[in-house]
Copies of this chain bind each other. A is one copy, B any other.
Amino acid sequence: MVLRALAINCSLKSDPNEASSSDTMIAVLEKAFAEREVFLTETVRVASLNIMPGVTSDEGKGDDWPALRDKILDHDILVFGGPIWMGQIGSVAKRVLERMDAFLDETDKAGRMPSYGKVAVAAIVGNEDGAHFSCAQLFQALNDVGWTIPAVAACYWVGEAMGSTDFKDLEKTPEIVSKTADMVAGNAAHLARLLKSAPYPDDA
């Protein structure tokens, strides 16, 4: 069963042509997913869109969330990519999470949110420290609104404490990152296939 993944890059930089370490990490995962017949159709640079503040699924004129929301829900796997700032996940990522709050009220007759049966993984980068804090924020929030988190769902890189190197500027991808990407993609692909074949039941 071929699956489709969508990546969102929650960089603070709005120009999709500006190099971003989150893109670099997403590319590492894209390769690992492709080897498992999961195709990453697109990486959305979220800051290039106008994702308005709010907690409904449509905040009105000019809001780019409805289209991004549709795109996310049209895929089997979400690769949630973004940078660490201040040791935490950045504000663009937080905005996306917040907009998913509406899922809580968008359940079907069986009480299932639109995210049910879909799998999310994290692609986190930073100059230094903050990946675990970022993942904790992502996993708790995503799980609250119906996403399933496969075993070992985080692929991340950060440099030594108070360092300033960017992931995108490394000469080569550290082997341990590639290995982790394989685990993340393998587990996510497997779990997404299971859930696509056998969705959460309506007695849930």
| Residues in A lying within 8 Å of B, measured CB to CB | 12-14, 36, 47, 53-55, 85-88, 90-92, 94-95, 97-98, 101, 111, 113, 115-117, 128-133, 135-137, 139-141, 143-154, 156-163, 174, 176-177, 180, 182-183, 186-187, 190-191, 194-195, 198, 200-201, 203-204
Residues of B within 8 A of A129 (CB): 129-132, 156, 158
Assess whether A98 is in contact with B91, with CB atoms less than 8 Å apart: yes
Residues of B within 8 A of A87 (CB): 131-133, 135-136, 140-141, 144
Residues of B within 8 A of A95 (CB): 91
Q: How far is the CA of A55 from the CA of B153 in the complex (A)?
A: 22
Assess whether A154 is in contact with B144, with CB atoms less than 8 Å apart: yes
Q: How far is the CA of A159 from the CA of B47 in the complex (A)?
A: 30
Residue from the set A94, A116, A132, A156 with the largest chain B CB neighbour count within 10 Å: A132
CB of A159 to closest CB in B, whole Å: 6
> A88-B97, A147-B151, A160-B160 known; 9 other A-B pairs, CB under 8 Å?
A13-B54, A86-B97, A88-B136, A91-B91, A116-B151, A129-B132, A129-B156, A136-B139, A162-B174
Q: Known contacts A88-B137, A132-B88, A143-B149; is A198 also within 8 Å of B203 by CB?
A: no
Q: Known contacts A111-B183, A183-B204; is A140 also within 8 Å of B132 by CB?
A: yes
Q: 6 interchain pairs (CB within 8 A)?
A: A12-B55, A86-B97, A90-B98, A91-B92, A131-B161, A148-B148
Q: Known contacts A143-B153, A146-B151; is A90 also within 8 Å of B94 by CB?
A: yes
Q: How far is the CA of A137 from the CA of B203 in the complex (A)?
A: 28
CB of A198 to closest CB in B, whole Å: 6
